[in-house]
A and B are shown apart, each in its own frame.
Chain A
Amino acid sequence: MRLQIPLAITFLIGLFMAVQFFVPHEVFQYSFESLLAWVRIVGAFALVLGIGSLLRTHWDKIRRRRRDWPYSIVTIVSFLAMCVIGIGFGHEPGTVFYWVFENIQVPLDATMFSLLAFFIASAAFRTFRARSTEATLLLVAAVVVMLGRVPSALIVSFGDTAVGHYLHANMPDVSEWIMNFPTVAGKRGIIFGVALGAIATALRVILGIERSHLGGGGGGGQ
């Protein structure tokens, strides 16, 4: 029963959500709205479970003195401190919570992301090679799109010349063409593939073939 009941619920709800899309009757509409509220409530519980998992994982790491365990202390202390500050003193603008967010989390987060620029530049220098026809096409397209994104770089490169101004005026159009046609063609194929995969996975879940979401590992397949 522990398996059959969740599978039956999944099947019925999945079927209902697919059918209700095509039936504008008020009963279906009301049920749909109720289900959406349930999803939000379940989502809130998932957040609590996630927090529990985070704390349990890091506590276990500290207890067993695993590699880099002191960072886990920082994680737990930071988490608890923000909880106390936020729940105890509010999180509106002007509060301590807001100050910590603006002056600690925002700069830290932005710094981590900014480091990417350095690594991308280094990686581009070391690995972006025209080793084959495909790689050459990719490289040329990348350079054109990059220049199209920053056309003023062409003025810097060619100076205040006719060539510089011509490229400055037209490179964004070439870049936009690459984005609008070759890129969209490739991307649309990927989107179709992903969508078909998502439909297949959804059907497997609704029909009870895929059961990994019920826990206990592995999908179905029988």
Chain B
Amino acid sequence: MDRAQVLKEIIEVVDPLDELGEDTVISENDDLDSLALFNVMVYLRQHGYQGEVKEFSSCKTLGDIVSLIA
């Protein structure tokens, strides 16, 4: 899956109030709360992501998360 498609699907999972992009900083965005990140992790696992959760937790931006599977 290409980056644009992954980003689009992650944004659908988050269902944000504000516009999100690859450069969105996770810790600075209210849409990316605990529940949203929970749902993103579920999405990644459903799409074959096998990495360590600390790798996911170390992502600073939404683009970093996209890079985990794209």
> Do these two chains interact?
no
Q: Which residues of B contact A (CB under 8 A)?
A: none
Q: Which residues of A contact B (CB under 8 A)?
A: none
